[in-house]
Chain A
Amino acid sequence: MGFLERVSTVLQAKMNKIMNRIEDPREVLDVSYEKQLQLLQNVKRGVAEVTTSKKRLELQKAKLQMNIDKLDGQAKEAISANREDLARKALESKAMMQAQLNTLDREIVELNDQQQKLQAAEARLATKVEAFRTKKETIKAQYSAADAQVKITESVTGISEEMADVGLAVQRAEEKTEDMKARSAALDELLESGTLTDYSGGDEIEAELARVKAKNTVDEELAKLKAEVNK
């Protein structure tokens, strides 16, 4: 089976589940409409959640930036006081914070992307739900007509598909924010305790590489600071 066919089958199976549970076709219209309104609420909640997560990351970013600036100042002072050891320590911390900051930047961009997608989905669904509501009343009014059943099936399938689509977008956004929430809580703790050491996760080689990179940055900055102070 092809990829597209598989995706379509999986999604359509989900939609049929909603439809098969109801016997009176007119009832399908009302139940579906109720579900649409619920989903719209879900999407709104999803948008709010992503926005909150983004704000939280932006706050953390500001905090990190403040710490970085402070460490910068300390390194300069240390060099002036001829304490290279202290300056090195400050610059090492700074390099770690900078790495965190870069990660945060990427995550903020990602959340922003999610936020925009969800907002677009919300707007699209709202339009469709309104169109469905109008259609639903028309179909109900002419229920005796022979083609009413066909119309009902068509519009309910159409809107169910839209709902499955939006539902998936919300689900994916939720998964993304959940991941980030956990990471972000850990970062908060580290910022509180002031020991920002393990920023590279479990991979040993990655960790060592990060240390080497950080050391190079520190050496360079140290040399630059010394040159500045000794001018």
Chain B
Amino acid sequence: MIIRILGEGQFRFDDSHLGELNEIDNQIVDHVKKGDKNGFCQDLARMISTVKELGKPISEEEVIPSDLIVPPADLSFEEAKDIFCNEGIIEG
């Protein structure tokens, strides 16, 4: 599958590693629910490094859509909460 890290480009990611990503994803949801800012920052960084480590960067000449989109590393906790409650970080 293709994963985009916002601000950093796209990566080809083997589906067999999806479990690892899902596990971090669940943690992040948990942190946001509990209001755990530090946990959120740590796991967001972990998610990004996991995609980078296990995925292969896609050439910049390739123009293809992604299956999943990962927010940028400097996404604030407040912005993350906003994604869940409202339209999110993107202005419509």
Residues of chain A at the chain B interface (Cβ within 8 Å):
2-8, 10-12, 14, 17, 117, 121, 124, 127-128, 131-132, 135, 154-155, 157-159, 161-162, 164-165, 168-169, 171-172
Main secondary structure of the interface of A (DSSP, over half): helix
Q: Is B92 a contact of A14 with CB atoms below 8 Å?
A: yes
With contacts defined as CB atoms under 8 Å apart, how many contacts are there between chain A and chain B in the complex? 87
Given contacts A154-B64, A168-B89, could you give 7 more A-B pairs where the C-beta distance is less than 8 Å?
A6-B88, A7-B70, A10-B87, A128-B61, A131-B62, A154-B65, A164-B90
Nearest residue, chain A, Cβ from B64: A158
Query: Which of B28, B32, B65 neighbours the largest number of chain A CB atoms within 10 Å of its CB?
Result: B65
Give complex CA distance A66, B82 in Å: 43
A-side contacts of B88, CB under 8 Å: 6-7, 10
User: Can you report 15 residue pairs joining A to B where beta carbons are below 8 Å apart?
Assistant: A2-B25, A3-B25, A4-B25, A7-B83, A8-B67, A12-B69, A14-B92, A121-B7, A124-B60, A131-B60, A131-B63, A157-B65, A159-B63, A161-B66, A165-B4
Residues of chain B at the chain A interface (Cβ within 8 Å):
4, 6-7, 9, 21-22, 25-26, 28-29, 32, 47, 60-72, 74, 80, 83-84, 87-92
Give complex CA distance A168, B92 in Å: 11
Q: Is A8 a contact of B68 with CB atoms below 8 Å?
A: yes
Q: Is B29 a contact of A3 with CB atoms below 8 Å?
A: yes
B-side contacts of A155, CB under 8 Å: 63-64
Q: Is A158 a contact of B65 with CB atoms below 8 Å?
A: yes
Q: Is A4 a contact of B65 with CB atoms below 8 Å?
A: no
Given contacts A2-B22, A6-B84, contact A168 B90 (CB under 8 A): yes
